[in-house]
Amino acid sequence: MMQQAGNLKKGEFIIYQGDIWQVQKTEFYSPGKGSALMRTKIKNVSSSKAIDYTFKSNESVEIIEVLSVEMQYLYKDSESAFFMNQQTYNQYEIPLDMIGDIIKFFKEGETMYVYVSDDKPLSVRPPVSVTLKVTHTENAAKGDTVTNAKKEAELETGAKVMVPLFIKTGEVVTINPETGEYTGRSNA
């Protein structure tokens, strides 16, 4: 499917110079000299290398249609993460560099959506929210009443995030994996 570069959206997969790239960031730009542009950061699905590329806003770009397939996150090694299609039991490997920082919030055994094109896994669709247990955080000092004050907490995946002072070790919190921000206390 062809689309004008000015309409590109984060997360889409495009063909650029013969390779498949995922759009990581877009910024429309009208420089006040010449034509309007679309600044992007795109990541090559084969090499996981990210580049900055500026398209003309009215340039046609080929978008690849991808499937979001439900898969179980199995484990990761130093280079890749491994997922299993729960329908077919086929296993898929995705380089950690392609998944990016959100991997640190993935818990083994959890279900995720993996972008697949022609049975090739491209990347992981970032979950809107992840629910994780706090394995360690210091108790807040009494009398610390500064509003919006935060402290560090280590989660069960090993990731460290900032949480409000009232959160205690053993509690379950929700995190936006894309920003790494605490979004709430879970009742689960």
Partner 1 sequence: MNVKASVSNLENYKKYLIIKNEIVSFLVKKNYQELDLPVLSPKLIPESCLEVFQTEFRNMSYKQKLFLTPSPELFIKRLIADGIGDCFYLGKAFRNAEHFSSKHSFEFTICEFYKLNTDYMSFSKEVLDLFLALAKKVNGKNYIYFKGKKISFESFEKITVAQAFYKYASIKDTELFNHKAFLKVAGLKGYKTEGFSYEDLWSQIYAQEVEPNLGISGRPTLIYEYPSVFAPLAKPKNKKVSKRFEVYISGIEIGNCYDELNDYKLQRNRFAIEERLLNQSGTIWADTDYGFLEAVRKGLPNCSGIAIGVERLGMIFSDTHNINDFKLINFE
Interface residues with partner 1 (CB under 8 A) are 17, 27-37, 39, 52-56, 58-59
Taking only Cα atoms into account, the Rg of the chain, rounded to an integer number of angstroms, comes to 20
Cβ distance to partner 1 smaller for residue 5 or 173: 5
| DSSP track, the chain | -EEEGGG--TT-EEEETTEEEEEEEEEEE--SSS--EEEEEEEETTT--EEEEEEETT-EEEEEP-EEEEEEEEEE-SSEEEEEETTT--EEEEEHHHHGGGGGG--TT-EEEEEEETTEEEEEEPPS-EEEEEEEEPPPPTT---TT-EEEEEETTS-EEEEETT--TT-EEEEETTTTEEEEE---
Q: How crowded is the C-beta side of 117, counted as CA atoms within 13 Å?
A: 17
Cβ distance to partner 1 smaller for residue 36 or 128: 36
| Structure-token pair, residue 25 | 């960031």
Shortest separation between residue 172's beta carbon and partner 1, angstroms: 26
Shortest separation between residue 29's beta carbon and partner 1, angstroms: 7
Cβ distance to partner 1 smaller for residue 78 or 148: 148
Contact 80, 31 (CB under 8 A): no
Cβ distance to partner 1 smaller for residue 30 or 46: 30
Shortest separation between residue 160's beta carbon and partner 1, angstroms: 22
Cβ distance to partner 1 smaller for residue 43 or 124: 43
Shortest separation between residue 121's beta carbon and partner 1, angstroms: 28
Cβ distance to partner 1 smaller for residue 9 or 142: 9
Shortest separation between residue 111's beta carbon and partner 1, angstroms: 30
Shortest separation between residue 88's beta carbon and partner 1, angstroms: 39
